[in-house]
């Protein structure tokens, strides 16, 4: 696999989904000052009564963003709002709701603890800490973390350029009319969606007919322009399936055909410096092979080192699933939590690899492994959810 080494500096607001090029070190403590976690009164912990009540003279007030100049001496307190810097001398804050006023004094009861409701400077990040590791995909939390120490730009890996085209004489692009025997090209659209969501720069090369010469020309052009090439269709062993032989001619075949369903005729190789993925034509097979093989390969190509792998779950399957030993099978399914606790998963039903709408109905794959055979309702199965929370 070619690895993208080029980096670029982008404004933070444009960095969502990009991969961080180098460790980002915090140049500051976050928070920058010790501050109050609540609205209340800042005081010395040594003034807290062990029993009964204690009156402390209120000597000032401090709001978030301002400073109290003086020192909180023994027997005094400062009214303080959430986020405001703790005045010198104070080390403890009592919540407003747990106090009462008596003239110029605040009355504090027993049961408090020295140091409570105080956020220490640098307790989120210390100056010099690695805030975001190289290879991390920038998610909403990382955007906020980078902003929390004032950074407004970040160095990221260049988006890989991925050239895509569909093959098949029967294919028509949406927006044109469908003559008898023709099929609208849906694969280029699902691929565009899947690639865009992982931050690829998609080069749409349209539809190529089942013709050796046309295929060769398009692949050569794609290899010049892109870091990776993805095709769909024409990769089986049918009469008009020229993808695999053209790959052999122009480059190198890494593998062809894998023991999965759907998606068996997947081809992988190299053309020049570009990685090549020849996906099957059937629309569900395109999505399955993309998620199981292409996506992880492209993420690795763009330098992603995800410390937060998507978990596979175990759920009770309420459907009967037919399965042959000796291959991995992916079933489109709906995962939900039963009212009384456990996770259950049911197949969306029909399993034809041309039934793209079942992908839209589903929210997960059930994965039955190599050695598994058909299962009866009630079996525990592995599930790959489609979407995480963030
Ligand atoms: P193939 O692998 O080229 O034999 O295609 C397998 C099946 O997928 C055929 O029924 C094709 O018509 C269909 N197919 C191939 N490419 C596409 C596409 N881009 N969009 C929708 N269906 C397709
Ligand atoms: Mg075809």
User: pTM value?
Assistant: 0.93
Quote the Cα angle for 77-83-86, to 5°: 35
pLDDT of res. 6 = 97
Closest atom, ligand 1, to C-alpha of 186: 20
Confidence band for 308, pLDDT divided at 50, 70 and 90 = low
Q: How far is the CA of 166 from the centre of ligand 1 (A)?
A: 8
Q: How far is the CA of 260 from the centre of ligand 2 (A)?
A: 20
Please say if the pLDDT value at position 166 is more than 90.
yes
Ligand of minimum distance to the alpha carbon of 211: 2
Ligand of minimum distance to the alpha carbon of 190: 1
Question: For ligand 1, which residues put their CB under 6 angstroms from it?
Answer: 166, 168, 170-171, 183, 185-187, 232-234, 236, 238, 280-283, 354
What value does the mean pLDDT take over residues 96-109?
97
Ranking 184-193, 244-253, 299-308, 374-383 by mean pLDDT, the lowest is 299-308
Please choose, from the candidates 34, 86, 31, 38, the residue with its C-alpha nearest in 3D space to the C-alpha of residue 60: 86
Instruction: Take residue 260 and report the two structure tokens written for it.
Output: 């999965």
Mutual orientation of helices 212-225 and 243-250 as an angle, nearest 10°? Answer: 50
What value does the mean pLDDT take over residues 9-33?
98
Confidence band for 148, pLDDT divided at 50, 70 and 90 = very high
Please say if the pLDDT value at position 387 is more than 90.
no
Mutate to test the pocket of ligand 1, among 204, 210, 232, 238 (most ligand atoms within 8 A of CB): 232
pLDDT of res. 122 = 98
Q: How far is the CA of 169 from the centre of ligand 1 (A)?
A: 10
What value does the mean pLDDT take over residues 41-69?
97
Ligand of minimum distance to the alpha carbon of 174: 1
Please say if the pLDDT value at position 340 is more than 90.
no
d(CA 125, CA 121): 9
pLDDT of res. 307 = 59
Please say if the pLDDT value at position 228 is more than 80.
yes
Q: What 3 state SS string does the chain have?
A: CCCCCCEEEEEHHHCCCCEECCCEECCCCECCCCEECCCEEEECHHHCCCCCCEEEEEEEEECCCCCCCCCCCCCEEEEECCCCECCCCCCEEEEHHHEEEECCEEEECCCCCCCCCEECCCCCECCCCEEECCCCECCHHHHHHHHHCCCCEEEEECCCEEEEEEECCCEECECECCCCCCEECCHHHHHHHHHHHCCCEEEEEEEECCCHHHHHHHHHHHHHHCCEEEEECCCCCCCCCCHHHHHHHHCEEEEECCCEECCCCCEEEEECCEEEEEECCCHHHHHHHHHHHHHHHHHHHCCCCCCCCCCCEEEEECCCECCCCCCEEEEEEEEEECCCCCEEEEECCCCCCCCCHHHHHCCEEEEECCCCCCECCCCEEEEEECCCCC
d(CA 211, CA 242): 7
Closest atom, ligand 1, to C-alpha of 188: 19
Please say if the pLDDT value at position 389 is more than 80.
no
Please say if the pLDDT value at position 179 is more than 90.
yes
Most confident of 21-30, 333-342, 379-388: 21-30
Mutate to test the pocket of ligand 1, among 231, 241, 265, 281 (most ligand atoms within 8 A of CB): 281
Q: How far is the CA of 173 from the centre of ligand 2 (A)?
A: 15
Confidence band for 2, pLDDT divided at 50, 70 and 90 = confident
Q: How far is the CA of 346 from the centre of ligand 1 (A)?
A: 27
Confidence band for 187, pLDDT divided at 50, 70 and 90 = very high
What value does the mean pLDDT take over residues 319-330?
97
Work out the percent of the chain whose per-residue pLDDT is above 90: 95
Mutate to test the pocket of ligand 1, among 167, 180, 183, 277 (most ligand atoms within 8 A of CB): 183
Ligand of minimum distance to the alpha carbon of 266: 1
Looking at ligand 1, which residue's alpha carbon is closest to its atom 17? 281
């Amino acid at each position: 696999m070619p690895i993208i080494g080029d980096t670029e500096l982008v404004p933070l607001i444009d960095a969502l989904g990009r991969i961080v090029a180098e460790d980002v070190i915090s140049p500051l403590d976050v928070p920058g000052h010790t501050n109050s976690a609540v609205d209340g009164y800042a005081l010395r912990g040594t003034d807290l009564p062990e029993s009964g009540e204690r009156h402390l003279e209120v000597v000032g007030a401090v709001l978030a963003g301002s400073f109290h100049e003086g020192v909180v001496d023994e027997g005094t307190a400062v009214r303080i709002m959430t986020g405001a810097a703790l005045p010198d001398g104070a080390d403890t804050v009592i919540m407003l709701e747990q106090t009462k006023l008596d003239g110029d004094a605040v009355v504090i009861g027993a049961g408090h603890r020295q140091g409570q409701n105080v956020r220490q400077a640098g307790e989120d990040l210390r100056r010099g800490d690695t805030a975001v590791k190289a290879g991390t995909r920038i998610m909403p939390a990382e955007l906020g973390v980078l902003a929390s120490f004032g950074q407004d730009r970040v160095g990221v890996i260049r988006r890989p350029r991925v050239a895509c085209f569909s093959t098949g004489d029967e294919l028509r692009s949406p927006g044109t009319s469908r003559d008898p025997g023709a099929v609208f090209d849906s694969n280029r659209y699902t691929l565009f969606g899947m690639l865009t969501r992982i931050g690829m720069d998609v080069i749409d090369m349209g539809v190529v007919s089942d013709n050796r010469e046309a295929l060769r020309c398009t692949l050569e052009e794609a290899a010049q322009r892109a870091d990776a090439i993805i095709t769909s269709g024409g990769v089986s062993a049918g009469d008009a399936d020229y993808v695999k032989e053209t790959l052999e001619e122009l480059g190198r075949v890494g593998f062809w055909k894998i023991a999965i369903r759907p998606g068996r005729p997947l081809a992988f190789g190299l053309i020049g410096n570009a990685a090549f993925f020849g996906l099957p034509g059937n629309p569900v097979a395109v999505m399955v092979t993309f998620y199981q093989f292409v996506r992880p390969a492209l993420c690795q190509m763009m330098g992603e080192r995800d410390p937060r792998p998507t978990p596979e779950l175990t759920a009770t399957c309420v459907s009967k699933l037919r399965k042959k030993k000796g291959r991995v099978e992916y079933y489109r399914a709906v995962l939900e939590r039963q009212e009384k606790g456990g996770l259950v998963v049911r197949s969306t039903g029909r399993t034809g690899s041309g039934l793209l709408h079942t992908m839209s109905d589903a929210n997960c794959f059930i994965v039955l492994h190599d050695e598994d055979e058909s299962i009866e309702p009630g079996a525990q199965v592995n599930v790959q959810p489609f979407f995480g929370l963030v």
